[in-house]
């Protein structure tokens, strides 16, 4: 059996909006609950969540086929990409991409030789069902989805070149880090930040690649959707729990 079809990659290629949330609790119980909530994807955060390869594996196993699994490594390092893909995760969001060279390196990391540098270890990993699907490697490259995070002024300057890199399926604008890099730390709705974000979304959508962003503000999420964002993050497990718990404690006083 070849590598499984990637519903998220296909949906983004067809410009269909896919909504999801950040998962930072690193809890198998939390993802078990969220996998059935109705999101198109769950992002298991290895950059700001206390995740390791074993915790990512457990959460991916718990989610199963109920919704798409996206993993964000702590950084864009080739060794991390191969470990994530060998887990059977097909969607990777790489943070802090500032240059075309970084984009090219990540695109190569997602693919087997000769197109890329992914190591051939899936035959002993979950990705190829521990060797039971040797045909996996025949089409694995076609079923992985790479989304790069542009979240700095340097990244915005390199955006046209990044978008031209073969193997990059989408570009996600990181509002918090971009705001900080622009000198507006903590102010993701500063007019200058919003202008930069909207300009980037326009460039990404014009390139035919998927535009992504995360916002906890429902009105802003609708605005970004109307602008053509299709990889749309609308919250996080931590934020949902924090707000619900705080609200209940307040009402119970």
Active site residues: 48
147 contact partners, CB below 8 Å, separation of at least 6: 70, 91, 92, 93, 94, 168, 169, 170, 171, 172, 210, 212, 231
Among 59, 90, 91, 149, binds ligand LXDSK4UY (CB under 6 A): 149
Among 22, 39, 41, 136, binds ligand LXDSK4UY (CB under 6 A): 22
Q: Shortest approach of ligand LXDSK4UY to residue 31 CB, angstroms?
A: 16
Closer to ligand LXDSK4UY by CB, 167 or 175: give it.
Answer: 175
Label residue 225 exposed, middle or buried (CB < 10 Å: 0-12, 13-18, 19+). Answer: middle
Report the alpha-carbon distance of residue 151 to residue 13 in Å, rounded. Answer: 23
- Length of the chain counted residue by residue: 253
Closer to ligand LXDSK4UY by CB, 169 or 237: give it.
Answer: 237
Stretch that binds ligand LXDSK4UY, among 55-63, 97-105, 122-130, 174-182 (CB under 6 A): 174-182
Among 175, 201, 209, 230, binds ligand LXDSK4UY (CB under 6 A): 175
Residue 174 binds ligand LXDSK4UY, judged by CB under 6 A: yes
Contact between 26 and 50 (Cβ < 8 Å): yes
Instruction: Evaluate the CA torsion angle 213, 219, 223, 228 in order and state its sign.
Output: positive
Chain positions contacting ligand LXDSK4UY, by CB under 6 A: 22, 48, 149, 151, 174-177, 214
């Amino acid at each position: 059996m070849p590598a499984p079809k990637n519903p998220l990659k296909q949906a983004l290629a067809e410009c269909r909006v896919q909504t999801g949330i950040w998962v930072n609790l690193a809890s198998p119980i939390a993802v078990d609950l969220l996998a059935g909530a109705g999101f198109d994807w769950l992002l298991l955060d290895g950059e700001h969540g206390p995740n390791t390869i074993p915790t990512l594996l457990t959460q991916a196993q718990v989610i199963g086929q109920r919704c798409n699994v996206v993993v964000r490594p702590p950084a864009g390092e080739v060794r991390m990409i191969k470990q994530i893909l060998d887990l059977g995760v097909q969607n990777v969001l790489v943070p802090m991409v500032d240059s075309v060279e970084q984009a090219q390196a990540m695109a190569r990391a997602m693919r087997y030789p000769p197109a890329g540098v992914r190591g051939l270890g899936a035959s002993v990993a979950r990705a190829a069902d521990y060797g039971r699907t040797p045909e996996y490697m025949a089409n694995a490259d076609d079923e992985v989805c790479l989304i790069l995070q542009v979240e700095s002024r340097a990244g915005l300057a390199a955006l046209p070149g990044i978008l031209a890199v073969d193997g990059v399926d989408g570009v996600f604008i990181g509002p918090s880090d971009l705001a900080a890099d622009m000198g507006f730390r903590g102010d993701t709705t500063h007019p200058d930040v919003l202008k930069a974000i909207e300009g980037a979304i326009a460039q990404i959508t014009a390139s035919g690649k998927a535009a992504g962003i995360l916002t906890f503000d429902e009105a802003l999420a609708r605005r970004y959707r109307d602008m053509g964002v299709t990889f749309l993050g609308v919250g996080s497990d931590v934020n949902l729990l924090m707000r619900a718990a705080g609200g209940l404690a307040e009402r119970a006083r």
